[in-house]
Amino acid sequence: MKIFRTTSELIKWRKEGVLGLLGFVPTMGALHEGHASLLRSARKESDVVVLSILVNPTQFGDVSDLENYPKTLEKDLKIAEKEGVDAVFAPTPEDLYGGIPSADNVDWGAITSDFEAEFRPGHFNGVVAVVDKLFTTINSDKAFFGEKDLQQVAVIRRLALLHHNEVEIVSCDLIRDSDELALSSRNIRLSREGRTIALELSKSLKAIFNSSNKVGQIRLETSRIDAIEGLDLDYLAGVNEVTYSKNDDPQSWTHAIIAAEVDGVRLIDNIRL
């Protein structure tokens, strides 16, 4: 497995010619089973697999969230090796951005203004900035993203449509732990009690999935969650995975989505309806 620590090394390798279809899995490291499953999909669907590891500063609004983001490069490299990754690209932010990292404002309607965008101002500007640079540098045929970050998938699809027609975006199923908590690199920051409280997110989504009155159930679950101590709800809603526009017509919904904070850790989850 090759490891490239600078953009110029990666570009040189690409210029030497990669044989076959190239699949790309972008990550911020702290790899878990969700990432491993993305790597397995990439392995199945491509001849050459590139994994990027970069904690991207421009997508963090909160300095402490950036500072506390887990960094486990040694462990990540072992997982990458095990999953048959051909090349790991792990530059510094300054190297990839070619200077001090910054991001332009992106306005693509509801997908970049509502839900996650509303609670994490500037987040998608940073995601678009870094993924745009990664797509340009790696120039892959396919790129794989997890559906846990469902709104991010919508944003990346728009980025590809507007600026990177060469890349096919493949979205992969959200992966849950045995207790049904959606896998996330941030989960390791949850206390034991916090983890138990966090399970309320997937419980609510399941209740909405099973209900014939989705609007009513969302209202019910919102009050139930609001009453739970230690759980700070940002939103619980039904959405269409493409438009992300806020509306009360369950016919247009593809998913129920939820975001909340537990132990100062922001958690998101969703379920296909």
Question: Where along the sequence are the contacts to ligand PAF (CB under 6 A)?
Answer: 26-28, 56, 59, 127, 130-131, 149, 152
Q: Is 32 tagged catalytic?
A: no
How far the first Cα of the chain sits from its last, in Å, is 40
Per-position DSSP letters for 65-121, written without gaps between them = HHHHS---HHHHHHHHHHTT-SEEE---HHHHHTSS--------GGGGTSTHHHHST
CB of 198 to ligand PAF, least distance (A): 19
CB of 165 to ligand PAF, least distance (A): 19
Of 138 and 218, CB closest to ligand PAF: 138
Which of 63, 87, 84 shows the shortest CA–CA distance to 5? 87
Of 66 and 215, CB closest to ligand PAF: 66
Which of 267, 237, 243, 268 shows the shortest CA–CA distance to 255? 237
Of 131 and 201, CB closest to ligand PAF: 131
CB of 137 to ligand PAF, least distance (A): 13
Q: Among residues 32, 35, 123, 164, which one is catalytic?
A: 35
Phi and psi torsions of 214, nearest 5°: -65, -40
Of 36 and 220, CB closest to ligand PAF: 36
CB of 74 to ligand PAF, least distance (A): 19
Query: Could you give the angle at which helices 73-82 and 33-45 cross, rounded to 10 degrees?
Result: 40
Which residue has 């530059």 as its token pair?
Answer: 91
Which of 48, 54, 56 shows the shortest CA–CA distance to 2? 48
Residues 6 or more apart whose Cβ sits within 8 Å of residue 218: 208, 236, 237, 238, 256
Which positions are catalytic?
35
